[in-house]
Amino acid sequence: MVRKDVIMKKHIMKLKDMQKLTTKNIAMKIMDIMKKHIGYDYHITRPQLFRELFLKDEEETLADWLRWEFVKKAMHLCRVKTKCFISSKRSEGHNWVYFVVADEDDAGYYVDNLNKNINRIRAMQQRAMKSAREQWYKEDWVLPHKTKKLLEKKEEEVVDELFY
């Protein structure tokens, strides 16, 4: 008889392989699409990119949220493993746009964002040290106000918000 943990490990490995394959497939599609979007002036919006990738409009569902997570992983794969360096930027209408970096201005915006993220990581390092020094683990842990409100909603409403 096969043990349950061995079966679970096999299923997890299959899921990870599927995830890698899905990410690579999406990355290949993205690279093809992005050939027409070199430089900020020729950017593509998030809804347009989603429509070109999945042949449907993005909806507020868990499935589409997961699809977009794969898109983000695929764009990262393109940046790291290929010469298709995709950058993103908020446009005037607060929508995200995507484009292949074509000049130093395009790259500069990406570098500025990286520097902001590095500063956020440094702040979290300091927060971790403060947590250890002040022994936060001994204190009561309280969720932020917004999270409390969400938990107070009926379970059905939360499920509706997540899946429909």
Band of residue 5 on the pLDDT scale cut at 50, 70, 90: confident
Q: Which of 12-16, 81-85, 108-112 has the lowest mean pLDDT?
A: 12-16
Bridge partners, 99 (sequence order):
87
Q: What is the 3-state secondary structure (H, E, C) of 102-140?
A: CCHHHHHHHHHHHHHHHHHHHHHHHHHHHHHHHCHHHCC
* Domain made up of 1-102: CATH architecture: Orthogonal Bundle (1.10)
Region 102-130: mean pLDDT is 95
Per-residue pLDDT at 74 exceeds 80: yes
Per-residue pLDDT at 40 exceeds 70: yes
pLDDT score, position 8 = 72
pLDDT score, position 100 = 97
pLDDT score, position 12 = 73
Kindly list the domain boundaries of the chain, sorted by start residue. 1-102, 103-164
* DSSP output for the chain: ---HHHHHHHHHHHHHHHHHHHHHHHHHHHHHHHTT-BSGGG-EEHHHHHHHHHSS---SSHHHHHHHHHHHHHHHHHHHHSS--EEEEE-TTS-EEEEE--SHHHHHHHHHHHHHHHHHHHHHHHHHHHHHHHTGGGSPP---HHHHHHHHS-HHHHHHHHH-
Distance of CA 89 to the CA centre of its chain: 14
Cβ pair 54, 67 in contact under 8 A: yes
Cβ pair 43, 99 in contact under 8 A: yes
Torsion of CA 123, 74, 35, 89, to 10 degrees: -30
As given in the structure block, the two tokens for residue 157 are: 């409403």
As given in the structure block, the two tokens for residue 2 are: 């096969």
Q: Locate tokens 């899946």: which residue?
A: 163
